[in-house]
Amino acid sequence: MTLTEQLIELIENKPIEDEDIAAASWFVLDAMANIAAGRNSEPGRILNRWFLDEPPNTSRTVLWLGALMHILEVDDLHRQSVVHPGCVVIPTVLSLGLREGLSGRMMLEAVLKGFEACTRLGNSVGPAHYKIWHNTATCGTFGAAYAAGSILGLSKSQMRDALGNAGTQSSGLWEFSSSGTMSKHLHAGRAGQSGVIAADLASYGLSGAPTILEGKRGFYAAYCPDANPEALLNNPEGKWQLHETSIKPWPSCRHTHPAIDAALEISIQLKGEIPESIELGVYQSALDVCDKPNPDSLYDAKFSLQHCVSIAILCGQVGFDSFESEARQQASGLAKKFSLKCNEEFEKAYPDAWGAEVKVKLSNGEEICVRRKHAKGDPDAPLSPAEMREKAAMLFSYGGVPDPENWVERILKLPGEPSFRDSDLHQLLDVSGNGQWSMKDA
């Protein structure tokens, strides 16, 4: 069998328990809250205008929802694969769930399978891939195709075609980060859209390369100079990869989170005193992506270790306003006092653990050092149900959704919904303002 066929066998043979469905519902809650909040942003408003410019259809809706979900940088992340599976897989499932009139249970099963496909692929691409390619975009296309194929009831041979069709569309370059532009949002949206198209066409009989992964001109050969194909199929009887996926508490790049967590603890101890110097130790990938001492845009600030740690120390909290122009100006003086280094311990543990050490020196010579072996929200340091509810309600409020706590509880009951289309949960996705947006005829 090809690697694609083996991956399909692995996923289809995994049992789905009620606890897996319940876990998936928390990720759908987080996704829908992120989508609602993402609309309240400059790129979100651009996407909304684009979406409303034509009648909605499934692939257009997937792109729109996926891009919105990824805007505020507070969506989920699978740390080992460095993939944001939710912003690709869940918009796919929401759009097709609405089109096909699926039950909540069927949608959540598709979420589990889509997460499994893209994160397992992300585990196998090797670290060199991430230096050029954005794993969420490249690997996410496969996850969206698998979720869509599951919803459409594709046979195993059709699913192989769908993944082949997905792989040949896979793309997403990191170059946007050098100028802080908005293209990253397209990575999530287009990955989902490409996956839906790949599965839809496979259902009509459009074939895809069966050796899209290991072929001489396939995915690994083109994108992955140090690929580890064995990791694709590791531990087939383990928990679903969704259980290994983290929920982010702060709206910035995940690589900044262990340092933010440590800096917030330091802020309490400082009681307003300004450090003389700050030493930050992290793993190399965090330096590669987030060593930005002088961020000059909101998006740059979200990817700046210096800014994120500075604002955490100065304000004792990190929120949506922590990256605006005023906050960047407030933090600029402290950001000049940083020294960054690759910590050997954290480097060896990465990507299984994402750690950071923040050490500050005071004017009297005293030093305060705080370490985090894991980022808050990881499976090793999970957010509590109360924190998850609080985060979702905050995101809904930020997105202008009335009565957010009510919507939180209703989304968590998705497993019992007989039809997503016949429920009114999808009205949370309505951007037209008329309460009648629907994909029934798309």
Full DSSP string of 261-295: HHHHHHHHHHTTPPPSEEEEEE-HHHHHHH--SS-
For residue 351, whether the previous peptide bond is cis, meaning omega lies within 30 degrees of 0, is: yes
d(CA 70, CA 87): 6
Instruction: Give the confidence band of 440 by pLDDT, cuts at 50, 70, 90.
Output: very low
Q: Is the pLDDT of residue 205 over 50?
A: yes
d(CA 198, CA 41): 30
- Based on the structure, what is the number of domains in the chain? 2
Asked if 138 and 125 count as a contact pair (C-beta separation under 8 A), the reply is: yes
Count of CB atoms situated within 10 Å of the CB of 220: 24
Angle in degrees, 0-180, between the axes of helices 86-100 and 58-70, rounded to the nearest 10: 150
The pLDDT assigned to 74 comes to: 94
Whether residue 259 sits in one domain with residue 233: no
Q: Which domain holds residue 262?
A: 254-372
Instruction: Assess if residue 440 is contained within a domain.
Output: no
For residues 420-435, average pLDDT? 77
Q: Which residue has the higher pLDDT, 178 or 372?
A: 372
Percent of the chain with pLDDT over 90: 89
Asked if 57 and 419 count as a contact pair (C-beta separation under 8 A), the reply is: no
Among 372, 391, 419, the domain boundary falls at: 372
The pLDDT assigned to 430 comes to: 77
Whether residue 198 sits in one domain with residue 86: yes
Q: Which two tokens stand for residue 438?
A: 């629907």
What is the CATH classification number for the domain harbouring 63?
A: 1.10.4100.10
For residues 352-367, average pLDDT? 94
What pLDDT digit, counting tens, does each position of 242-288 carry?
A: 999 999 999 999 999 999 999 999 999 998 899 999 999 999 999 99
Among 338, 355, 372, the domain boundary falls at: 372
DSSP 95-156: HHHHHHT--HHHHHHHHHHHHHHHHHHHHHS-HHHHHHB-HHHHHHHHHHHHHHHHHHT--H
For residues 214-226, average pLDDT? 98
Whether residue 183 sits in one domain with residue 170: yes
Asked if 209 and 161 count as a contact pair (C-beta separation under 8 A), the reply is: no
Whether residue 152 sits in one domain with residue 101: yes
From 198-202, 346-350, 397-401, 428-432, the region with the lowest mean pLDDT: 428-432
d(CA 208, CA 149): 13
Q: Which residue has the higher pLDDT, 439 or 362?
A: 362
Whether residue 227 sits in one domain with residue 262: no
Whether residue 39 sits in one domain with residue 140: yes
Instruction: Assess if residue 441 is contained within a domain.
Output: no
What is the residue whose two structure tokens read 């590669």?
Answer: 288
